[in-house]
Amino acid sequence: MRIATGCIGHETNTFSPVATGIDNFKQGTYCVGAEIVAEFAATSTITGGFLERAADLGIEAVPLLWTFATPSGTVQQAAYEMLKADFLARLGEAGRLDGVFLDLHGAMVTQAHEDAEGDLLRAVREQVGDLPIVVTLDLHANITAAMAEYADVIIGFDTYPHVDCYERGLEGAQIIADMVTGEIRPTMAYRQLPLLTSPPSQCSLRPPMSEAIARLHELEARPGVVTATLSMGFPFADIHDAGCSVLVTTNGDQALADECADEFAQYMWDQREAFRAELVSVQEAIEFARRSEGQPVVLAEGSDNPGGGGPCDGTHILRALIAADFQGAVVAIIADPESVAQAIAAGVGEEVELEVGGKSIALHGEPVALCGYVQAVTDGNFVNKGPMARGKRAQMGRTAVVRVGAVEIILTEQRLQPFDAEVLRSVGIEPVDRKLIALKSAVHFRADYTPIAQAILEVDTPGVHSPNLSSYDYKKVRAVYPLSGEVVAWR
Ligand SMILES: [Zn+2]
């Protein structure tokens, strides 16, 4: 059995003015052919899980192209067309195939396609005809009717932080193998809800999301159900189809799929008020951390999360910490290649004058002028050790730790969501030794930090990834709760 596999992936924040070009994909993860196996084998990722189960089942995985750019603004059409043409050419040259397994995100927007995955899946379907196509999608996929039409089975994540990628990869390999052997003949029901939610409320470590996922698993255990997906959507893509959707796949029983999907969609609709984020101001958060007896207190700055398209150089929290002369704080991270170069030129153990951050998007604050001590310089490479993407290599580019008073700033060349505590340890900072850790992450950090954090506060700062959805001027999304008062029923 031969199954082609690959990914063209991006989570597109249409509120970010920073366009995403081909260089962003090449600087992100970009592998072709056997490089894909070298990159993902033995990692806790979708493709890592797929490759492992495929090997166990005697499937020959045919790796094509796998690329993912760090989330940012709308993808340039030329970049998407180049990647798509390359992917389709490799698919065409792959020889006889029995199926296609795609590890996609589900919230990619290009200049010409609001629904880029729908476009890609249509093209793959046209090329492979009736062959099984199984797709995994992120929990933040804005799933469209086109995606559901052109894929045979869509499998979404059950967790946020996304710690079940490996398991979903195993599941995907098993389902496509069972389709090829004729063991199952999947049929899928898709329901879109008029519901937009923000990342903090989608966290599956706590209610209401933990309860929704438990219910989804009960539904999945029913006889005849193959797999079920609750996608919460990505609210920072202002497209018609942004938001929550439900998919239920059964073994050939469309009536059962429809019934289960309707039931779950109604449940989610009934829960809509519970899916609202609770945020605190920067000042409240700093005061809380100062008074706290234990440590560390984590301040999550979702608005500048580069994992969702934030510029990762916002200065709102840094400025407040320096003004407060906070004792024992770390800011992770600020992507500012210019300041990194200046700190490296000054050298470890030296003082340096910098204008830190605030160079990308005005909403995220002005640069902070400071004189700091260069505490450390590293190559910015580390391996994730926490529950998310464990074993996967990560790069921050050249990295410098600059200290101002008792506030340490991790300055990097590249944008990276600091969800793994190795970001700190790799530059010589032990997280539990600090009073306050400010992270540019919305939810993913919780996988690694929940066991060590004394408290976690979600901070309300302006930005392109703010959990405060009322701060955006939506133009393209259909009528959705809570933005529109017209929505009174889920269909
Ligand atoms: Zn996600």
Segment 219-242 mean pLDDT: 98
Same domain, 206 and 353: no
Query: What's the CA-to-centroid distance between 405 and ligand 1, angstroms?
Result: 36
Query: What's the CA-to-centroid distance between 134 and ligand 1, angstroms?
Result: 19
Same domain, 264 and 286: no
Query: What's the CA-to-centroid distance between 190 and ligand 1, angstroms?
Result: 20
Q: pLDDT tens-digit profile of 101-110?
A: 999 999 999 9
Q: pLDDT tens-digit profile of 39-55?
A: 999 999 999 999 999 99
Of 223, 258, 274, at which residue does a domain stop?
274
Query: What's the CA-to-centroid distance between 443 and ligand 1, angstroms?
Result: 9
Segment 161-174 mean pLDDT: 97
Query: What's the CA-to-centroid distance between 70 and ligand 1, angstroms?
Result: 12
478 within some domain: no
Query: What's the CA-to-centroid distance between 140 and ligand 1, angstroms?
Result: 5
Largest CA distance in the chain: 70
472 within some domain: no
Q: How confident is the model at residue 184 (pLDDT cuts 50, 70, 90)?
A: very high
229 within some domain: yes
Q: Which amino acid is at 456?
A: I
Distance CA 32, CA 64 (A): 6
Segment 338-348 mean pLDDT: 98
Of 251, 274, 297, at which residue does a domain stop?
274
Q: pLDDT tens-digit profile of 259-310?
A: 999 999 999 999 999 998 889 999 999 999 999 999 999 999 999 999 999 9
Q: How many domains does the chain have?
A: 2
402 within some domain: yes
The whole-number pLDDT of residue 323 equals 98
Same domain, 139 and 20: yes
Measured from the Cβ of residue 88, the count of other Cβ atoms closer than 10 Å reads 18
C-alpha triplet 83, 85, 90: angle, nearest 5° = 95
Query: What's the CA-to-centroid distance between 283 and ligand 1, angstroms?
Result: 29
384 within some domain: yes
Distance CA 465, CA 221 (A): 35
The whole-number pLDDT of residue 259 equals 98
C-alpha triplet 280, 396, 315: angle, nearest 5° = 35
Same domain, 207 and 304: no
Q: pLDDT tens-digit profile of 192-230?
A: 999 999 999 999 999 999 999 999 999 999 999 999 999
Distance CA 107, CA 241 (A): 10
Q: How confident is the model at residue 329 (pLDDT cuts 50, 70, 90)?
A: very high
Query: What's the CA-to-centroid distance between 138 and ligand 1, angstroms?
Result: 5
Same domain, 265 and 286: no
Query: What's the CA-to-centroid distance between 464 and ligand 1, angstroms?
Result: 16
The whole-number pLDDT of residue 276 equals 83
Same domain, 126 and 230: yes
Query: What's the CA-to-centroid distance between 11 and ligand 1, angstroms?
Result: 8
Query: What's the CA-to-centroid distance between 305 and ligand 1, angstroms?
Result: 12
Same domain, 61 and 181: yes
488 within some domain: no
The whole-number pLDDT of residue 162 equals 95
The whole-number pLDDT of residue 202 equals 96
Same domain, 217 and 353: no
Same domain, 383 and 270: no
Q: CB neighbours of 475 closer than 8 A, spacing ≥ 6? A: 238
484 within some domain: no
Same domain, 326 and 375: yes
Of 222, 254, 274, at which residue does a domain stop?
274
97 within some domain: yes
Query: What's the CA-to-centroid distance between 159 and ligand 1, angstroms?
Result: 9
Same domain, 257 and 292: no
Full residue range of the structural domain in which residue 168 is found: 2-274
Q: pLDDT tens-digit profile of 430-453?
A: 999 999 999 999 999 999 999 999
Same domain, 118 and 249: yes
Top-ranked range on mean pLDDT: pick from 232-246, 274-288, 462-476: 232-246
The whole-number pLDDT of residue 69 equals 96
